[in-house]
Chains A and B, each alone.
Chain A
């Protein structure tokens, strides 16, 4: 079919560009743009603010500080449409950097968006909660259930990864694509049986609206949320030094988010999103902060990206595959870690989720 070849050649072209496009640091000091535009997923509810490392980066004002002398404005965007909306913003040339979910990462790149992955988001557990009174002892019991999942986001991939080991497929459940506020009323009224999403669901458990059925917390079980910090290729090519400085700031934020001493302050920062502090406390309880916020493009992260690509191909979300090694550009990350002396902070994991020696 001509559209496959068309997209394929587009992909090949952008990949080829990509290899050429990532130059080493420019020799002369470059002048950064007047504005650096950076986005993260908007919150389902509450105030749009940064999650995870991006939240720390914003609260600590690391980028504003880094570019203060040059008078660069940092333009923060948190679209409620989350990943899919971020892809649209990239396509429209309205964004330079973004930290967003693994599935929209892959779908955007697969559709020919010239993004490059700079670092991993780390990982986050996925939760499935059920309405009160529903009898789901395990994932296998979800057969025939009405499940709400925000489509086009990382959770669509998570659902597939979680159902598969239980011997189920998407067609065995009834999927509803609801917005967060509607999810809550729908599960409260019993119109849906279950919701699959992130730590914001823990609030429903705390409020006794729903019960926890399954989570990947404390594990690297299939479906564990992943994502990437990405840059628009044109930006990185035009402003390599600025890109490096942004990555450095991002890695400093990741370092802050990885320190056990900062745990309580981190909960306060993330509570700015409107998700209750208690939900974060519960979500992170007992977890190693460094593992949760590791920016390393390790074997586990790469395997997750590949899984996202395979899933997207099989579900026809993208029409042509691409090579994750061509998409992930580790050079900025490596330089940042070396410059900042963070070699020992994070542990790398292999594709199977075992610590790499």
Chain B
């Protein structure tokens, strides 16, 4: 695969190591490429920031003119000051750490189970026929619908949060992985047959590498959904976490705290999304599935 066919974005996102390797070939190419990459990134950042800047401007004007009561729409400067105070005082990092630990735990459990069932359903049509419809039905009922029932079983402690996030993270991985296996191009099966690969070899050398992009896609969806669910659960039944801080802000009529947590939740969510997207693009590169 030549360098030229890689998009700028691909180079930008696939890490410095590879970039250095490529760049080492020619310094002239390096500077030209680098400029192009830099320009592309700067342009993308500029475009991405233009809408938030516009929103900020409208927000400032609306707050300054008190088009909405200041208790409901605080000034951006107040929100910034509050965000800063909450960060310095350690409240925000502490609650965020609680939330991230919950997300990690839930993702680990739910993601692993989703992956396992995805592989199972992908490889065995019979198991999909037996379990698939029931599992899908269970998971298609929103987490909020399950909440009262789960509370009875798991209580209101940490287990409940892990269970709900795990439940949310399960489906994206299961669906993506089983789907990827089921739609594997026929040529892969031909190769397996030609080489007379054993069942284990087939799994290790063909199936798993080919579904890695699907795992990355599933992971990306799982994190996005899990993060949203976590915030909701923390708003309903919790004594800690960023969602709790948000609810506390609302109940104590401090909308600046609510806005501060909203911004943090959005930024953290975006950060996750970008990180997993980078991973996804990287896996797409070396996977047989999409790279072939």
Interface residues, chain A, with chain B CB atoms under 8 Å away = 1-3, 6, 10, 84, 87-88, 91-93, 104, 107-108, 111-113, 151-153, 174-179, 181-182, 185-186, 189-192, 317
* Distance between Cα atoms of A92 and B66 in the complex (Å): 11
The answer to whether B253 and A104 touch across the interface, beta carbons within 8 angstroms, is yes
Nearest CB on A from B254, distance (A): 7
Nearest CB on B from A92, distance (A): 6
Nearest CB on A from B88, distance (A): 12
The answer to whether A151 and B70 touch across the interface, beta carbons within 8 angstroms, is no
List of A residues within 8 angstroms of B100 by Cβ = none
Within B50-90, the residues touching A (CB, 8 Å) are: 69-72, 77-78, 81-82
The answer to whether B156 and A182 touch across the interface, beta carbons within 8 angstroms, is yes
Q: Which residue of B lies closest to A179 (CB)?
A: B236
* Distance between Cα atoms of A180 and B104 in the complex (Å): 30
The answer to whether B252 and A151 touch across the interface, beta carbons within 8 angstroms, is yes
Q: Which residue of A lies closest to B81 (CB)?
A: A3
The answer to whether A93 and B253 touch across the interface, beta carbons within 8 angstroms, is no
Sample of 11 A–B contacts (CB below 8 Å): A2-B77, A6-B78, A174-B239, A175-B239, A177-B244, A179-B236, A182-B156, A182-B236, A186-B155, A191-B155, A192-B156
List of B residues within 8 angstroms of A177 by Cβ = 237-239, 244, 247-248, 251
Other than A88-B253, A152-B248, give 4 A-B pairs with Cβ distance below 8 A. A2-B77, A3-B81, A112-B71, A152-B253
Within B202-237, the residues touching A (CB, 8 Å) are: 236-237
List of B residues within 8 angstroms of A192 by Cβ = 156
The reply on B40 being an interface residue by CB < 8 A is no
Nearest CB on B from A195, distance (A): 12
Nearest CB on B from A239, distance (A): 20
Closest 3 CB pairs of A and B: A152-B251, A191-B155, A91-B69
The answer to whether A108 and B253 touch across the interface, beta carbons within 8 angstroms, is yes
* Distance between Cα atoms of A146 and B113 in the complex (Å): 32
Partner of A91, one of B72, B77, B155, B238: B72
The answer to whether B237 and A176 touch across the interface, beta carbons within 8 angstroms, is yes
List of A residues within 8 angstroms of B148 by Cβ = 181-182, 185
Interface residues, chain B, with chain A CB atoms under 8 Å away = 69-72, 77-78, 81-82, 148, 151-152, 155-157, 236-239, 244, 247-248, 250-254, 256
List of B residues within 8 angstroms of A104 by Cβ = 253
Q: Which residue of A lies closest to B82 (CB)?
A: A3
List of B residues within 8 angstroms of A1 by Cβ = 81
Q: With contacts A91-B72, A175-B239 known, is A317 near B252, CB below 8 A?
A: yes
Q: With contacts A152-B252, A175-B239 known, is A182 near B151, CB below 8 A?
A: yes
Q: Which residue of B lies closest to A113 (CB)?
A: B71
List of A residues within 8 angstroms of B251 by Cβ = 84, 151-153, 177
Nearest CB on B from A313, distance (A): 12
Partner of B254, one of A111, A151, A178, A189: A111
* Distance between Cα atoms of A189 and B78 in the complex (Å): 42
Q: With contacts A176-B237, A192-B156, A317-B252 known, is A112 near B70, CB below 8 A?
A: yes
The answer to whether A87 and B81 touch across the interface, beta carbons within 8 angstroms, is no
List of A residues within 8 angstroms of B157 by Cβ = 191
List of B residues within 8 angstroms of A87 by Cβ = 71, 253
List of A residues within 8 angstroms of B254 by Cβ = 111, 317
List of B residues within 8 angstroms of A6 by Cβ = 78
List of A residues within 8 angstroms of B71 by Cβ = 87-88, 91, 108, 111-113
List of A residues within 8 angstroms of B69 by Cβ = 91-93
Nearest CB on A from B262, distance (A): 16
The answer to whether A182 and B250 touch across the interface, beta carbons within 8 angstroms, is no
Q: With contacts A174-B239, A175-B239, A176-B237 known, is A84 near B155, CB below 8 A?
A: no
* Distance between Cα atoms of A111 and B250 in the complex (Å): 12
Nearest CB on A from B221, distance (A): 29
The answer to whether B70 and A185 touch across the interface, beta carbons within 8 angstroms, is no
Partner of B253, one of A111, A179, A190, A191: A111
Nearest CB on A from B223, distance (A): 26
The answer to whether A107 and B253 touch across the interface, beta carbons within 8 angstroms, is yes
Q: Which residue of B lies closest to A150 (CB)?
A: B251
* Distance between Cα atoms of A335 and B70 in the complex (Å): 34
Q: With contacts A3-B78, A112-B71 known, is A151 near B248, CB below 8 A?
A: yes
* Distance between Cα atoms of A88 and B70 in the complex (Å): 11
Nearest CB on A from B19, distance (A): 45
Q: With contacts A1-B81, A176-B239, A177-B244 known, is A186 near B151, CB below 8 A?
A: yes
List of B residues within 8 angstroms of A191 by Cβ = 151, 155-157
Nearest CB on B from A15, distance (A): 16
* Distance between Cα atoms of A191 and B152 in the complex (Å): 9
List of A residues within 8 angstroms of B250 by Cβ = 84, 152
List of A residues within 8 angstroms of B236 by Cβ = 179, 182
Nearest CB on A from B247, distance (A): 7
Nearest CB on B from A29, distance (A): 31
Q: With contacts A113-B71, A186-B151, A191-B157 known, is A2 near B81, CB below 8 A?
A: yes
List of A residues within 8 angstroms of B248 by Cβ = 151-152, 177
List of B residues within 8 angstroms of A181 by Cβ = 148
Nearest CB on A from B179, distance (A): 37
The answer to whether B72 and A176 touch across the interface, beta carbons within 8 angstroms, is no
* Distance between Cα atoms of A91 and B74 in the complex (Å): 12
Q: With contacts A91-B72, A108-B253, A151-B248 known, is A176 near B81, CB below 8 A?
A: no
* Distance between Cα atoms of A177 and B236 in the complex (Å): 8
Nearest CB on A from B232, distance (A): 13
Nearest CB on B from A295, distance (A): 25
List of B residues within 8 angstroms of A151 by Cβ = 248, 251-252
List of B residues within 8 angstroms of A84 by Cβ = 250-253
List of A residues within 8 angstroms of B238 by Cβ = 176-177
List of B residues within 8 angstroms of A108 by Cβ = 71, 253
* Distance between Cα atoms of A189 and B160 in the complex (Å): 13
Q: Which residue of B lies closest to A4 (CB)?
A: B81
* Distance between Cα atoms of A172 and B55 in the complex (Å): 43
